[in-house]
């Protein structure tokens, strides 16, 4: 027997119009109403007609982007790559800087949904935000895990961590420290640290992780990095899992009279154009930012059109050779 919209409405105790609004995320709906309708659809195993939904939806030709901050070279370049591709596809863009503040991210998300955007591309790193679970909007994530239904675009983080650690060891470093963000973040980027640990253990070396929160101010990061030098006075290598941290480690080393790379070898991660321009001597793992943006936009357009998609796309990385290793 074919389950129809009427069946869902009857079981949920709401009108057909309300069911349609839940399906297409249109108009004001309470969380209780959404839960009743979604529960009824699940119980009846209702499969909405993609073509009918497409006809029902009134496209706004707006797409929302939510990232931690465009002040970071990686995210700034990523947004710069996403926007013209979306514009070429006929979409205008709303941008939200979440600063890794979950309340700010929720506020942006609610505002974007209320403005009836056609889709979202997100790279902020807050977890368990209900608004992501309760929306039927097409969403694509870049380097973050939201839930199993939302596709993820990322670079090959494990390979990047492996390349960075092996290069430091090859150049003679033995006491190598990795800087990384909060372990609670649900992001494929943590594979960089896992690769570092695997390579270190394979060479009989002890892994050491120093945590630096991405959302900290520059001043707080600087104080933290100074403490890292105090905690590990004999370290001869640092794998910074982003280029901002790598630059600050290098700056602190110079202030302490430590020569790079003679006394301390440093490798970063991201290799945005602005970083290579301002820090051409920094050796770093280059993420394919342009290709990641292309994959994210292509996947979002597929989701908006109701096409089948690849849930996880991992793009290759390479070493950008400077003079810090």
Residue 24 tokens read as: 């297409």
**Residue 302's pLDDT band (boundaries 50, 70, 90)?**
very high
| Cα 94-56-134 angle, rounded to 5 deg | 55
Q: Of 5-19, 105-119, 124-138, 255-269, which range is least confident?
A: 124-138
CA–chain centroid gap for 241, Å, is 14
pLDDT-above-70 percentage for the chain: 89
Interval 110-115 mean pLDDT: 74
Chain Cα centroid distance, residue 236: 30
- Judging by beta carbons within 10 Å of its beta carbon (0-12, 13-18, 19+), is residue 161 exposed, middle or buried? buried
pLDDT confidence of 108, banded at 50, 70, 90? confident
DSSP 311: S
Assign 112 a pLDDT band (cuts: 50, 70, 90). confident
- Please report the pLDDT score of residue 128 as a whole number: 60
Contact criterion met (CB below 8 Å) for 287 and 273: no
In sequence order, the 6+-apart residues with CB closer than 8 A to the CB of 156 are 314, 315, 316, 317
Backbone angles phi, psi at 136, to 5 degrees: -95, 10
DSSP assignment of 187-208, as one string? -GGGHHHHHHHHHHHHTT---E
């Amino acid at each position: 027997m074919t389950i129809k919209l009427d069946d869902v409405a009857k079981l949920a105790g709401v009108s057909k119009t309300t069911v349609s609004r839940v399906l297409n995320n249109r108009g004001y709906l309470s969380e209780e109403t959404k839960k009743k309708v979604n529960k009824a659809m699940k119980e009846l195993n209702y499969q909405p007609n993609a073509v009918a939904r497409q006809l029902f939806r009134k496209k706004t030709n707006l797409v929302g982007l939510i990232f931690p901050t465009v002040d970071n070279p990686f995210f700034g370049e990523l947004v710069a790559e996403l926007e013209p591709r979306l514009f070429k596809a006929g979409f205008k863009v709303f941008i939200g800087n979440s600063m890794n503040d979950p309340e700010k991210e929720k506020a942006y998300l609610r505002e974007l949904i209320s403005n009836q955007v056609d889709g979202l591309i997100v790279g902020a790193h807050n977890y368990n935000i209900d608004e992501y679970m309760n929306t039927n909007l097409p969403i694509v994530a870049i380097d973050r895990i939201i839930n199993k239904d939302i596709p993820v675009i990322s670079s090959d983080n494990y390979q990047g961590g492996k390349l960075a650690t092996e290069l430091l060891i090859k150049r003679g470093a033995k006491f190598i420290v990795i800087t990384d963000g909060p372990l609670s973040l649900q992001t494929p980027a943590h594979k960089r640290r896992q690769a570092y640990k695997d390579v270190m253990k394979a060479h009989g070396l002890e892994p050491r992780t120093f945590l630096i929160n991405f959302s900290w101010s520059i001043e707080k990061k600087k104080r933290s990095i100074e403490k890292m030098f105090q905690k590990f006075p004999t370290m001869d290598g640092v794998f910074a899992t982003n280029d901002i941290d790598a630059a600050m480690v290098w700056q602190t080393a110079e202030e302490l009279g430590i020569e790079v790379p003679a006394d301390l070898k440093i490798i970063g991660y991201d290799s945005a154009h602005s970083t290579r321009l301002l820090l051409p001597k920094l050796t770093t793992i280059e993420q394919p930012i342009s290709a990641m943006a292309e994959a994210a936009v292509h996947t979002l357009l597929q989701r908006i059109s109701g096409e089948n998609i690849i849930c996880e796309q991992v793009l290759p990385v390479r070493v950008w050779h400077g003079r810090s290793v």
